[in-house]
Chains A and B, each alone.
Chain A
Amino acid sequence: MSAADAIVNANRLLLRKLLVVSVLMFGFAFALVPFYEKICEVAGLRDIFRSDEVAAKNTQVDMSRSVLVEFDSNTQRLAWTFRPLALGLAAHPGAVMQVEYEVRNTLDRPVTGQAVPSYGPQRAAQYFRKLECFCFQQQTLAPGEVRRMPVVFVIDPDLPKDIGTITLSYTFFEVAGTQKRPG
């Protein structure tokens, strides 16, 4: 084998190795997905779909103040009507409260949706403990079905004093990949 051939072969070998590295790194991006989920699980992050634990000390009701809780509802690219039955209520921190939301599937096919909560102001989120919520599971509604769903919550008495109003907002998304295609 001549020297020139030897170089060509060495070049091809290196080319192949580097291509393998690129393909592996492409796969690595996808491997980050389960890895990230595991980290979040271990670190206890991203537990918005779980019921919050209420520590014993929080059962004390703080009668000295009340917080206005406003309810909001949205849908994202999903033909459901979705509304809270009350627009707002006043809650004492530490007291267990309940509200209801009503949702109606206006489509002629069963649809599965998932509600995602968010809070305003954002820093109120950590003091807003949901004991029961329709957002803990996916909801599947038959064509035209109407459903009333409760939310049970406690506001942590440690809520900073300057927060007088909390807005709880839900957005319903269609869960991708669950819709039955006709035929």
Chain B
Amino acid sequence: MSAALDTHGKAHDGHDDHGDHGHHTPTGFMRWVTTTNHKDIGTMYLWFSFAMFLFGGAMAMIIRAELFQPGMQIVTPEFFNSMTTYHGLVMVFGAIMPAFVGFANWQIPMMIGAPDMAFPRMNNWSFWLLPPAAILLVASFLVPGGGAGVGWTMYAPLTTQMGPGMDLTIFAVHILGMSSIMGSINIITTILNLRAPGMTLMKMPLFVWTWLITAYLLVASMPVLAGAVTMTLTDRHFGTSFFNAAGGGDPVLYQHIFWFFGHPEVYIIAIPAFGVVSQVIPAFSRKPLFGYASMVYATSSIAILSFMVWAHHMYVVGMPVAGQLYFMYATMLIAVPTGVKVFNWVATMWKGSLTFETPMLFALGFLFLFTLGGFTGLVLAMTVVDVQLQDTYYVVAHFHYVMVAGALFSAFAGVYFWFPKWTGKMYDETLGKWHFWLSIIFFNVTFFVQHFLGLAGMPRRIPDYALQFTEFNQISSIGAFGFGLSQVFFLYIIIKAIRSGEKAPQLPWDGADTLEWTHLPTPAPYHTFENPPTVK
């Protein structure tokens, strides 16, 4: 992040020092447009995802403000529906996924001893596809009919009936998908071909392993989503009937195709988060990761299984009982490798000399709350229970435990952990701890009560509700406003640290032992590992 806010001049020096380029280096804005440096691109990914996080967060605030009271107060029902839709799309595709790609760009080359990504120019493209996609999403609010109110799952047949905002959204999804696929190809190639001598696969830091697996998941599943939205597009405009019952199609088919992508997608979000936590917990326990090999195998089996459980999102479409039972047991099977991982993290801490700086606090928050979200996932996996809970606030609570307290907290842990390496500055530890405690308390105030709302039958994606749900909704909304403000506070902490943070020591975390800490100065120079290190 340093380079983005640091005086531009300093970053250029780094560039110009390196006189062997022989051509003129662009300055100012053009430097960022044309950069092929993995650190610059990582920085841009992280800032982009933070901007999207605030944008998606603002929409969440509108949702929670409307739900503060029963009845319609602030927005129209149509606008409310588009808020839930774009909140989901922006958070998943705009905030969480690019954030972890940002980590991948910064960390993977440094962790495996490579000078840069395998395809630096494609890397630049992967990033610069994102802003146009974001613009398309915003633009869909401005066309007649407004934003699409179909939910982030974009189910047919509703999607075939929406205005032109739907088309813009479909194009945005296409572009986001292309960006992810290019990014993944880059990551796989970098990891497989550019490791330093001696860095065998089973010596790679776990973060690198999790990204290798995630990138394969992306290459295999993003094109399926592209197929699903392409079919929606041709149904809308070119007279096909993939999802149109009258023409011989079937809307349920859409759900199958979508969730064939959709369940791997939840692991695309979760697995890099596992990777960050697997670096942070050993560093602050001052012990190597417990069960490294079993972590690799567990993560791989989660990835493979994730392609075989998709219809647990569709128990109520009228599937035969045999199908429901298969998807129920297959889903529950995923809990086994996930449990292996959780126990390994706990065992890593066992008898370690623990300290609780901000990155460790967020990693522990992840560990507790992600596990809780996994448990509610198991509850939902039971087909008889899900028939009752499908599309209620219980599901909303479940996936926010795994995505916010899981993926997002892990991203916070990663930012605090690597911030000194990226910028050469330290953040304010007291403020970081405040950020953690505010986040975890307000998170639970917001989402814990939603379990009760869901169990009591409050449906999701509605702007109004029955009177008996009022109190819990008010608690949830207050928590949400607090959580939102805590994230603005995070922005303040980061800017303050970049502007006036203390100089970071060479090794701020004495338990950290990956290449970027042991072989590189702090902050990491603009070009690293042009001559690969030798790993013993």
Residues of A within 8 A of B (CB): 7, 10-11, 14-15, 18-19, 21-30, 32-33, 36, 40, 43, 45-46, 76, 113-114, 116, 172-177
Contact = CB atoms under 8 A, between A and B. Distances in A.
B221 interface: yes
B521 to A, nearest CB: 26
Given A10-B193, A15-B189, A29 B246 contact: no
Q: Please indicate which of the listed interface residues B185, B246, B260 has the most CB atoms of chain A within 10 Å of its own CB.
A: B246
Interface residues on B, range: 35 or more
B20 to A, nearest CB: 14
Contacts of A21: 219-220
B244 A176 contact: yes
A116 to B, nearest CB: 5
Contact of B250 (A7, A36, A174): A36
Contacts of B225: 29
Contacts of A36: 250, 253, 256
A172 B231 CA distance: 22
Given A18-B185, A32-B257, A33-B242, A114 B247 contact: yes
Contacts of A24: 223
B185 to A, nearest CB: 5
Interface string B371-389: 0000000000000000000
Contact of B246 (A10, A43, A174): A174
A7 B244 CA distance: 49
Nearest to B261: A29
A173 B244 contact: yes
Interface in B228-273: 228, 230-231, 239-242, 244-247, 250, 253, 256-257, 260
A32 B253 contact: yes
B110 to A, nearest CB: 18
29 contacts: A11-B119, A15-B119, A15-B189, A18-B219, A19-B185, A22-B219, A25-B222, A26-B224, A28-B227, A29-B224, A29-B228, A29-B230, A29-B260, A30-B227, A32-B253, A32-B257, A32-B260, A33-B253, A36-B250, A36-B256, A46-B250, A76-B246, A173-B245, A174-B246, A175-B246, A176-B239, A176-B241, A177-B239, A177-B241
A29 B247 contact: no
A175 B118 CA distance: 50
Contacts of A33: 231, 242, 253
Contacts of B250: 36, 40, 46
Contacts of B241: 175-177
B181 interface: yes
B318 interface: yes
B263 to A, nearest CB: 15
Nearest to A173: B246
B192 interface: yes
Given A7-B194, A176-B247, A28 B224 contact: yes
A12 to B, nearest CB: 9
A19 to B, nearest CB: 7
Given A11-B119, A32-B260, A22 B181 contact: yes
Contacts of A25: 219-224, 227
A28 B222 CA distance: 11
* A contact face: mostly helix, strand, loop, or mixed: helix
A27 B227 CA distance: 7
Contacts of B227: 25-30
A173 B244 CA distance: 9
A23 B246 contact: no
Nearest to A76: B246
B208 interface: no
A114 B184 CA distance: 44
Contacts of A23: 223
Nearest to B241: A176
A28 B260 CA distance: 11
Contacts of A28: 223-224, 227
B277 interface: no
A174 B244 CA distance: 10
A32 B260 CA distance: 10
B123 to A, nearest CB: 12
Nearest to A28: B224
A109 B157 CA distance: 27
Contact of A26 (B184, B188, B223, B244): B223
Contacts of A113: 246
A87 B340 CA distance: 62
Given A19-B185, A26-B226, A43-B320, A175 B219 contact: no
Contacts of A15: 119, 185, 189
Q: Please indicate which of the listed interface residues A7, A14, A174 has the most CB atoms of chain B within 10 Å of its own CB.
A: A14
B224 A11 contact: no
A80 to B, nearest CB: 13
Q: Please indicate which of the listed interface residues A14, A29, A45 has the most CB atoms of chain B within 10 Å of its own CB.
A: A29
Contacts of A29: 223-228, 230-231, 257, 260
A7 B193 contact: yes
Nearest to B181: A22
Nearest to B122: A15
A176 B240 contact: yes
B220 A177 contact: no
